[in-house]
Amino acid sequence: METRTPSESRTIVTDLVLPSETNPLNNLFGGELLARMDRAASIAARRHSRRIVVTASVNHVAFNRAVPVGSVVTIEATVSRAFKSSMEIYLDVWIEDRESRSRSKANEAIYTFVAVDDTNRPVEVPCLVPESDLEKERFEAALRRKQLSLVLAGKMDPKDATELKALFIAD
């Protein structure tokens, strides 16, 4: 089976926050950030699978910090694990300080994409081989998150969610 590393599909998108993209407090509108993250994640999923990809689920979003108008926002999208046809994409969002140019983490999110053929049928994707410690940590936890997402979507019986049960029930 073909394999790829996270760095082969990593996608980095840097853009400004303009006034038309903000809420009444002059901070980036949440839906605008979701759309930007969706676009970056879809590019990472497409680079990994080299197929048409569709968003299957937004598993987690944490709007930890407001992003003020005028900010330079960088979204880093990385495939954290590939399953059969689905891929988990981890998104880290950074904002850049104007004077020092140092960047600080503003938000993060996790999306699931599915690779499909021309008729929207799921197709297999290459396996992901994590390299760094962070990539390995995210890879390990991804199956648990997939099971949680499937249970919440009503697509998996909780009694089959082995990874989730292992979190709460000791042997």
Ligand X SMILES: CC(C)(COP(=O)(O)OP(=O)(O)OC[C@H]1O[C@@H](n2cnc3c(N)ncnc32)[C@H](O)[C@@H]1OP(=O)(O)O)[C@@H](O)C(=O)NCCC(=O)NCCS
Residues that bind ligand X (CB under 6 A): 54-57, 83-86, 112, 114, 116, 120, 122, 146, 149-150, 153, 155
Minimum Å gap between C-beta 39 and ligand X is: 12
Residue 4 phi/psi, 5-degree rounding, is -140, 155
User: How, if at all, do strands 3-4 and 127-128 pair?
Assistant: parallel
- Taking the least distance from each CB to ligand X, the nearer of 22 and 112 is 112
- Taking the least distance from each CB to ligand X, the nearer of 93 and 114 is 114
What CA dihedral angle connects 13, 15, 19 and 20, to 10 degrees?
Answer: -50
Minimum Å gap between C-beta 93 and ligand X is: 21
Q: How many CA atoms lie within 13 A of 154 on its CB side?
A: 0
Non-local CB neighbours of 83 within 8 Å, separated by 6+ positions = 125, 146
Of the candidates 68, 69, 66, the residue with the CA atom closest to the CA atom of residue 18: 69
Minimum Å gap between C-beta 113 and ligand X is: 8
Which residue spans within 5-145 are E strands per DSSP? Answer: 11-16, 52-62, 72-82, 86-96, 103-116, 127-128
Residue nearest ligand X by beta-carbon distance: 83
- Taking the least distance from each CB to ligand X, the nearer of 16 and 54 is 54
Minimum Å gap between C-beta 62 and ligand X is: 18
Residue 108, SS3?
A: strand
- Taking the least distance from each CB to ligand X, the nearer of 93 and 150 is 150
- Taking the least distance from each CB to ligand X, the nearer of 96 and 124 is 124
Minimum Å gap between C-beta 37 and ligand X is: 13
